Structure 1
Amino acid sequence: MASRARTRGREFLDAGTDSTYPFFDGYGPTESALDAMTASAAAARNYPSSFGLLELREAMAGLLARQFGVEVDHRTELMITNGASQAFDALSRSYAGEYVLLPELALSTVESISVGNGAAPVRVPLGPDHRLDPAALEETIDRLGEHRLRFLYLNSPANPTGVVYGRGELSRIVQIARAHRVLVIHDHDSWFTTHQGHRSVSILEIPGAQEIAVAVLSLSKELGLPGLRVGAVAGCAEVVNTLRVHNSLFSVMIPEFCQRAASEALRRFRPDAARERLQKEIGSSLRVALQGLRELGWPEQAVLPPSAGYKFLFRPPPSFSFTGDPSGVELFDFLLARDASVKLSTSRSFNHEDQGWMRIILMQTEQRMKELFSRLHEIGVSYTMPMPAGLVDDYRTVMSGHDLSNL
């Protein structure tokens, strides 16, 4: 579809992935990181530590203290990783057990990584507020047996819903996990960006959490540096040490120039006027998207505005209720890409059985978001629109013309 758009001389607008981070263009900490990486290029001649540079571990510990009031020992309770997914991979490989617990909607890579490491993913239902249901969580643990679990994965702010778990909710999850001795991995990738005026909570703030939990933080979302592949795992010393041993044995090493860049970005990071400007830009993109859906007729109950982060969900038009293969959400996604050169994504990416939602990512400037909704208006998109005749056949024809065997 991107190639088709180019042949028409049209830019393909991708609001379904977050491969680019335009808000961070010219942002001080991001620019300083790039300068530090260049200055540290000679470090490419040395093997880096699989545990992480001391200065970066100290910087990450400082961020936890400033942002969340959490004190961790950078020597035993924190280490550097190749981003969040590598931490999930290492821990799902290192711990015994038959199952990994995931919320009903959760990052697809956690499921695929778990399966690849021999664990069966088990979905825990979400409540009507799109939050993990504590009663369902405890019932699931009892049914499967706590000794058969590798870990519980929890994302807050949640991708793709934008839901943020409050202190009380996290306390209940920690209480359940401690009672059953279940490891909790809190994926806290969007640790700063919120939309309702209050910060997100780290699970490590909850008393007793460091006995059974770790938090995983990355620099991709909040400093616009996804290409560095730098993250940190902090919390339970036993889990951190397990990850340290794993990364040493498997020679998982983060280039030192990437670590020095991350350290410099964290050193420069402050909730200052520059960050406030960036927050306003993200908020403007969100407001344009929500207003665009309203103008196209989307009712309030068919949109799930995010409390934090860069992603949110909305329902496809009711006419796109095709339940075969492809699903209705995939057909709506295909229509937008075919006719408007606009790419979104679907809730099937986060649970292949969930066909209820479209996802939009706010990695678009306000102007590009306006252009996106202008295109949807041009092709007659509305909440009450009928599904175009022949769309299913066209989808299958296009897909049959491509070799997907190696994806």
Structure 2
Amino acid sequence: MGLAQRVQYFSESVIREMTRLAAKYDAINLGQGMPDFDAPAEVKEAACRAIHDGYNQYAITWGAPPLRRAIAEKARRFNGIDCDPDTNITVCCGATECMMATMMALVDPGDEVIIFQPFYENYGPDALLTGAKPVWVHLNPPDWSFDADELRKAFGPKTRAIIVNTPNNPTGHVFSRAELDLIASLCIEHDAYALADEIYEYINYSDKPHLSIATLPGMQDRTVTISGLSKTFSITGWRLGYCIAPAELTNGIRKAHDFLTVGAPHPLQMAGAAAMALPDSYYQYLKDGYRQRKDLFLPYLREAGFQFNDVEGAYYVMTDISRFGATNDTEFVNWMIREIGVSAVPGSSFYRPSERGHTQVRFMFAKKDETLKAAGERLLRIRDRLKASAPTWLAK
């Protein structure tokens, strides 16, 4: 007797493991993507009000009607996607479940799913859990663009879908119109789906506007657009995500979602509808706040010796640690947690094979200014500590 084969391909989340280590050593957690600042007061108040108003039993499985209506209006206004809240929208327990339910609805064993790497660590296991084969296409530093020929070669007769995450975790890359046009043309040519993870859609510092691939010619009927409220409203613990898809695909997603989780928390969905009714000024405030955090924290990293290009979107920065002589990302991060008091995520957790990320480390900067300053001051001590302690993993 033993474990099922489907779970033997991957290990426990490295991101969550680094969070536990950070807590053990009282390190500042710049690994897991959760803010240390609170949601807007009116959003919290709406959640309390929903509980007091009796929204404490199951909602409709695929989402409370007020939230689905709010999502449809937001998608029309911000993304340029026209959708019916009753036939095109499914609310799930986070964007993570959205992706899993979508894969279960659309992907069969033996299919191939194209994934850009470095990749958010759930994408590979999602494909493997459905019996599909991940096909990797590289995002290449320093600007994290992909090679068009490599992408073309990745498509083939078994290609069922491609995952497009923009703004991208972990690189911060915002896909350009030209990049999305190429992806769209290949999806159409090979009759493949685009699974568009747009959870960081409002956090964009570049001059490239956020563009939903579903709005490109020929893509409306072959795209599932996935997003959520976690990152936009600093409510990662509420687990509210949603899928926007054509009616036929939505029917399949809803079936998978129903038997995965039944539904997302009803009172939090009602509060989510209130959150999405916030004025446009909130989204500018969100963007400006993250730009300020980026501009505060990244100079500390650069002064400490990490190498990277500026970040275009999301709240992560993928850095190179080879300047320190480090050749093992996991040992470097473990050392940094114990000796420096700052946590990050080893780059290898975002690659297959993992060796491709052994000189990379991802930091996140969704933290209060005082947290980022404290972390930055600690990181500036890295070079002195390396010279003093001479760790065994340091390349000679």
Interval containing the TM-score (normalised by the shorter chain) = 0.7 to 0.9
Matched AA of 1:202: S
Using a 3 Å threshold, how does the CA distance of structure 1 residues 34 and 48 change in structure 2: closer, same or farther?
closer
Q: Secondary structure at the match of 1:160?
A: coil
Corresponding residue of 2:18: none
1:139 alignment partner in structure 2: 153
Residue 316 of structure 1 deviates from its aligned partner by 0.7
Aligned residues: 368
Q: TM-score, normalised by structure 1?
A: 0.83
Structure 1 residue 165: Cα displacement: 0.9
Task: Please name the residue that 2:289 is paired with.
Answer: 281
Partner of 2:383: 380
Give the RMSD, CA atoms, in angstroms: 2.4
* Kept after mapping to 2: 8 A contact 1:195/1:283: yes
Letter in 1 for 2:302: R
**Are 1:366 and 2:369 an aligned pair?**
yes
Over 3 Å counting, the alpha-carbon distance change for 1:49 and 1:277 in structure 2 is: closer
Aligned to 1:19: 34
| Distance in 1 separating the partners of 2:42 and 2:185 | 37
Flag structure 1 segments of 5+ consecutive residues without an equivalent: 6-10, 323-327, 394-407
Q: Which is further off, 279-288 or 340-349?
A: 279-288
Contact 1:29 1:223 (C-alpha < 8 Å) held by counterparts: no
For residues 218-268 of structure 1, give each alpha carbon's deviation from its aligned partner in whole angstroms, at most 9, with x where no partner exists.
101111112221111113332212102223355621222121111111122
Moved more, 196-205 or 303-312: 196-205
Aligned residue for 1:200?
210
Q: Give the TM-score taking structure 2 as reference length.
A: 0.85
Offset, 1:211: 1.8
How many Å separate the matches in 1 of 2:168 and 2:286? 21
The reply to whether residue 89 of structure 1 matches residue 100 of structure 2 is: yes
Q: Flag the 1:168–1:386 CA change in 2: closer, same or farther, 3 A.
A: same
Residue aligning to 2:330? 330
Measure the CA separation in 2 of the matches of 1:31 and 1:251: 24
Query: C-alpha displacement at 1:187, in angstroms?
Result: 0.2
Q: Report the 3-state secondary structure (helix = DSSP H, G, I; strand = E; otherwise coil) of the residue aligned with 2:100.
A: helix
- Conservation of the 8 A alpha-carbon contact between 1:319 and 1:387: no
> CA 1:37 to 1:51, structure 2 compared with 1: closer, same or farther past 3 Å?
same
Identity between Structure 1 and Structure 2 (%): 22
- On the 8 A contact 1:32/1:265 being kept in 2, the answer is no
Deviation of the 1:371 alpha carbon: 1.1
- Aligned partners of 2:22 and 2:29 also within 8 Å: no
Contact 1:97 1:150 in 2 (8 A): no
Matching of residue 255 in structure 1 with residue 270 in structure 2: no
Output the amino acid matched with 2:131: G
Query: How far apart, in 2, do the equivalents of 1:189 and 1:104 lie?
Result: 17
Say whether the 8 Å CA contact 2:93–2:261 is kept in structure 1. Answer: no
Find 2:280's aligned residue among 262, 267, 271: 271
Query: 2:226 aligned with 1:212, yes or no?
Result: no
Give the alignment partner of residue 246 of structure 2, picking from 233, 236, 261.
Answer: 236
Aligned to 2:179: 169
Residue equivalent to 1:389: 390
Counterpart amino acid of residue 224 in structure 1: S
